[in-house]
């Protein structure tokens, strides 16, 4: 089923994601389509809460693949991301198999011979059985392919980026003791970044670069419509218009799509049918996350509501 979908066009991507409740702009849909066609990872940048992680989830749900998520943080290394040797198991086995080793070596007449026999068994302990696969290796090993989400790559160290390069360009990884593990089915890779740190050129070159900003008013309305079905059309237009006005302010943290959705849910819960100063004041803390921001926005509320209402008349 997944194969059929991959070969369809950009509109199919758009509607496919929409069916999962993810309203994608044309740019997003193009990116997803291209990434499937030319088998390249997508690097998604943009402010927090605009749906970067959601995109990966939606793609996974739409293509019916498993999603494997690697959350990045400072100090993340290959032992956590790629694979690790089960040292304790290795040691335990050596100890337990001590007698067995004696048996194997028993036949040897000379030290040289024993050493030779030992060499033959040397690799036993660095074999597949003793590898603990972490998300990246797991993703490569999925027989049906998967969606690999490498979340907040900008939080990881620069060295970790280099580790990713092989996976991102060739969908394979080299484990010194085992050799190269190639993906059975290349995973769809989504990397997200909040631009906390500049990513390396090598990484960027391997990816399609998608920037998701705050959506346009129409698109945001559609997103709210899909996520919060119970909301009335007037209220939806007013609140999205209001949020667009808020975003024009110079705030510490601008409300993003996730806040829009939260706010819509709150308004539905409060059974509001349209915006008024009172209800906005009461629920502004859903939208704005800093006291200073709320103070800055409060005097403008009435103007913004009026503006939002006016723009609806023309829009």
Partner 1 sequence: MRENLHRFFRAARGAGVHVSPAESIDAMRAVAQVGVTDRAILRDALLLTLAKSQDEKLALGDCFDLFFSQPEPRQDQPEANNDDTSEDQDQSASSDATSDAGEGQPPEELGPLAQMLLSQDRNAISAAIASASGAASLSDIRYSTQRGIFSSRILDAMGLQRLRDDLDELTATNPALAERLRAALDALREAVRDTVSQGLALYAREEAENLRNEILRNAPLARIERRQVAEMRALIRQIARRLRERYSKPRKRQRRGHLDVRRTLRRNAAWGGIPFLTAWKRKHRDRPKIVALCDVSGSVAQVSDFFLLLIHSLHEVVDDVRSFAFSSHLIEVSDILEKKSPEEAMAEIMSKVGFGSSDYGSSLVDFEKDFMRTLTPQTTVIVLGDARSNNLDPRADILRRVSERSKRLVWLNPEGRLAWGFGDSEMPRYATFCTVVRQCATAQQLERAVSDIVATYQ
Nearest-CA neighbor of 311 among 225, 188, 221? 221
CB of 46 to partner 1, least distance (A): 9
Q: Which is nearer to partner 1, 158 or 270 (CB)?
A: 158
Angle CA(32)–CA(34)–CA(35) in degrees, nearest 5? 65
What are the tokens at 277?
A: 């100063």
* 3-class secondary-structure state, position 262: helix
What are the tokens at 235?
A: 């209220």
CB of 91 to partner 1, least distance (A): 4
For residue 57, give every residue at least 6 positions away whose Cβ sits within 8 Å of its Cβ, in sequence order, or none: 20, 22, 67, 149
Q: Which is nearer to partner 1, 45 or 221 (CB)?
A: 45
Q: Which is nearer to partner 1, 26 or 310 (CB)?
A: 26
Q: Which is nearer to partner 1, 79 or 292 (CB)?
A: 79
Q: Which is nearer to partner 1, 208 or 284 (CB)?
A: 208
Q: Which is nearer to partner 1, 36 or 260 (CB)?
A: 36
How is the beta sheet containing 66-71 ordered, strand by strand?
66-71, 146-151, 188-193, 42-45, 208-211
CB of 155 to partner 1, least distance (A): 10
CB of 74 to partner 1, least distance (A): 5
Name the residues that contact partner 1, by CB under 8 A: 10, 26-27, 30-31, 33-34, 37-38, 40, 45, 74-75, 77, 79-80, 87-88, 91-92, 95-96, 157-158, 198, 200-201, 204-205, 208-211
CB of 284 to partner 1, least distance (A): 26
For residue 138, give every residue at least 6 positions away whose Cβ sits within 8 Å of its Cβ, in sequence order, or none: 68
Provide the 10 A C-beta neighbour count for residue 107. Answer: 9
CB of 200 to partner 1, least distance (A): 7
Instruction: Compute the distance between CA of residue 131 and CA of residue 124 in angstroms, rounded to an integer.
Output: 12
CB of 122 to partner 1, least distance (A): 15
Instruction: Compute the distance between CA of residue 138 and CA of residue 302 in angstroms, rounded to an integer.
Output: 53
Nearest-CA neighbor of 23 among 185, 257, 195, 230? 257
For residue 123, give every residue at least 6 positions away whose Cβ sits within 8 Å of its Cβ, in sequence order, or none: 177
Q: Which is nearer to partner 1, 17 or 305 (CB)?
A: 17
Residue 287 half-sphere exposure toward CB, CA atoms < 13 A:
28
CB of 273 to partner 1, least distance (A): 37
Q: Which is nearer to partner 1, 39 or 113 (CB)?
A: 39
């Amino acid at each position: 089923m997944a194969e059929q979908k991959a070969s369809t066009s950009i509109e199919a991507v758009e509607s496919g994601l929409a069916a999962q409740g993810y309203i994608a702009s044309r740019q997003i849909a193009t990116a997803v389509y291209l990434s499937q066609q030319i088998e390249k990872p997508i690097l998604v940048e943009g402010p927090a809460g605009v749906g970067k992680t959601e995109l990966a989830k939606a793609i996974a749900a739409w293509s019916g693949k498993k999603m494997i998520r690697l959350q990045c943080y400072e100090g993340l290394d290959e032992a956590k991301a790629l694979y690790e040797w089960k040292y304790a198991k290795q040691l335990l086995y050596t100890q337990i198999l001590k007698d067995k080793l004696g048996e194997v070596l028993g036949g040897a007449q000379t030290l040289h011979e024993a050493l030779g026999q030992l060499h033959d068994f040397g690799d036993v302990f660095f074999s597949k059985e003793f590898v603990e696969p972490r998300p990246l290796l797991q993703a490569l090993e999925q027989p049906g392919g998967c969606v690999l989400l490498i979340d907040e790559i900008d939080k990881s160290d620069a060295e970790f980026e280099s580790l990713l390069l092989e996976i991102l360009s060739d969908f394979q990884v080299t484990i010194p003791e085992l050799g190269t593990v190639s993906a059975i089915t290349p995973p769809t890779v989504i990397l997200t970044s909040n631009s906390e740190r500049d990513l390396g050129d090598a990484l960027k070159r391997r990816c399609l670069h998608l920037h998701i900003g705050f959506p346009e008013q129409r698109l945001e309305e559609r997103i709210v419509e899909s996520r919060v079905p119970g909301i009335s059309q007037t209220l939806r237009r007013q609140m999205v218009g209001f949020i667009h006005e808020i975003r024009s302010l110079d705030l510490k943290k601008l409300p993003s799509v996730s806040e829009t959705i939260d706010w819509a849910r709150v308004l539905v819960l409060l059974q509001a049918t349209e915006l008024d100063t009172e209800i906005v004041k009461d629920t502004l803390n859903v939208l704005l996350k800093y006291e200073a921001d709320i103070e800055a926005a409060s005097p403008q509320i009435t103007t913004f509501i009026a503006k939002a209402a006016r723009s609806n008349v023309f829009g």
